[in-house]
A and B are shown apart, each in its own frame.
Chain A
């Protein structure tokens, strides 16, 4: 008897440490080899931007005057002279510039995606769930914001706040949440009619709780995928913002600007000026894709 009771007590204790849905998701993610691999790649890229400067031979703005305009003849990438990625047309070390550019672009992508996920999801879910006039007003506001010429907003930011990196993120943030809001609203409209939402509402759960606890988790698949799609878009939008004078200013650079400049020099024989920044961009996108899909698969409660 005593052993039975002891056994029962042990079982009870063992049962209390249960598994939450989030832990389930984490375990599923860990099992996805591709996702894990590319997560590691992403971490490596970040580490590269942080530690890369240690083996750089010059910083990203120092010009070697004898190399200006000589990139095609003498500026090739070489391990020997320490310019691993070669020179750019201004006689600067491309390796350091790619590091500096990747860092800014990762920041831009992360912040843009975060703003989109947080603000866009909440906005879209609220609009979609409440429907009616609330939805109408909120969505018409999104329509207006989408149609307004973005450049003037940027110019006014520049005039009001002077150029700064912070303003760049404000600009990116303002743009990124609009598309997400629309997509989330669409999904919400469909989800809110499902039986389990009806059940929750019928048992008296408050609207906001329903949104946060029931609707949003079911959106996470689409949100994750769209967020990973946004990152490259934001990286490229940044080069447009810098054109206006608001974002990253010379001699600093970003991945978007490096690709822009590199693309222009493609027919002049300096292919590495495009290939290296584009290469990083490609790896970033692929990594985000696999990680994003891994997250989606992990968070989808129905996926086996």
Chain B
């Protein structure tokens, strides 16, 4: 593709045009590239989404659709930075517990009515209400909105929630604690507005294509469950002139390999790359196989509670097991998708987080293996030693990728340390139950950040956290985490916590995610630098290729 740079004045003129005809086929206003006549983007998802109601949606595929259909207070740009959405900006007080958002007057719903602060108030109260029983209502509590917990529990009425419409275009939010990164959280779909009149008229069916009214760049025009959904340009959207993609089609294809075949046949523009296929695909389809860092980790957790094995209570055993894992084999040979070896729990891609150099991260694998052997012997596990040979069970949910990694890691432990590991795959629900009830010895885990800040990961290891399945308990870590909540720059605390984790090894970090996908070369401006992968179809455009 060739970029043609027009004169500076022409570019300025194009971007300052307020209400001009949208060029469907023509040239891109900023880069000047020739746009294709076909501005349809077709992508694949693995499973049907659970809902497109912002207050209720809980999965990634639903969130992708909602980000196109609706718009919240703030958005993210291609690099993950905060940019205005329905709100033009916000102000806050010194304690950072009251935020005031100014809404733009030109924001419209697709039926022509204006978007007001009252819509946000209604939506947030609705999301917290016990009647809706939204599985994501806890997010409002996470945002520290005043009285959120009480409203969710039904102890206070929904209008006690700390959000008020000062007037039609001013929204005030009161928090129960100081939260410097609060605005980051308004990019999440649970906080998006919903049209009160439509919801009250149609009830649970308000998201049907015939009924739905939305305020984003697109409206839902077709939805055949388990097969496809289609959204098309919303001409009432306040920034409609900047939208280039006319139509977005989502296809549900359950099998990774079939999806890839159909991508090759040209039926879709984007699909995931099956495990291990990235190198050959990036050679065969150069430029169309993408790999970029993601805000997720992958680890094995020890059961450190009462019901856990005795061996795991010894820190030397835990360190030995962690050292003996050759992460480079997993990332470079099994996954081969640009994943990153993990020696810390928090991924390096997290904003304002620099990966501290922990001791075992800088050793070579041979050094690590030698240290592991020594540690295990010192702890007394092995043939002829005090506690005898070590053996335990590793549980993970059934999936080829998890099984592959588990098999490889089990073999590493066997060949380096002489340990016998029983691999136990379980169906997802059973896996969640067993892990949640500490009914395991070692379990696989993974976590994706809710927002782009290290606490979203490290909070998991807080002893009070409901997600701390290994029941790791360290008061120093708890104290550091509590302190970090209100610090202007908490990175020192986060670094200290990671160092403690490397010493105590309550979990074995394995790798940090990389996003892998095949993207048709015609689709431009995919936000590969956005680690949360909050992408918006209105920022994409298509050129002929």
- Taking Cβ atoms with an 8 Å cutoff, the residues of A that contact B are 61-63, 65, 68-70, 72, 89-90, 155, 158-159, 163, 243-245, 249-251, 261, 264, 266-269
Contact = CB atoms under 8 A, between A and B. Distances in A.
B150 interface: no
A68 B336 CA distance: 10
B395 to A, nearest CB: 9
A68 B260 contact: no
Given A68-B333, A155-B430, A245-B427, A251 B407 contact: yes
Interface in B301-334: 326, 329, 332-334
A68 B332 CA distance: 9
A68 B430 contact: no
B277 A251 contact: no
B443 interface: no
Size class of the B contact interface (CB-based, 8 Å): 20 to 34
A264 B403 contact: no
Contacts of B333: 65, 68-70
Contact of B398 (A68, A70, A245, A269): A245
B378 to A, nearest CB: 26
6 contacts: A61-B411, A65-B333, A69-B276, A163-B424, A249-B425, A251-B407
Contact of B407 (A158, A159, A244, A250): A250
Nearest to A244: B427
A249 B256 CA distance: 23
Interface of B: 256-257, 260-261, 274, 276-277, 279-280, 326, 329, 332-334, 336, 398, 400, 403-404, 406-408, 410-412, 422-427, 430
A68 B400 contact: no
A293 to B, nearest CB: 36
Contacts of A89: 276, 404
Contacts of A245: 398, 424-427, 430
B280 A72 contact: yes
A70 B329 CA distance: 12
A230 to B, nearest CB: 25
Contacts of A251: 407, 410, 423
A268 B334 contact: no
B267 to A, nearest CB: 15
Given A68-B334, A69-B336, A245-B430, A267 B423 contact: no
Nearest to B264: A267
Contacts of B430: 155, 158-159, 245
A163 B430 CA distance: 13
A153 B280 CA distance: 42
A249 B423 contact: yes
Contact of B427 (A61, A65, A243, A250): A243
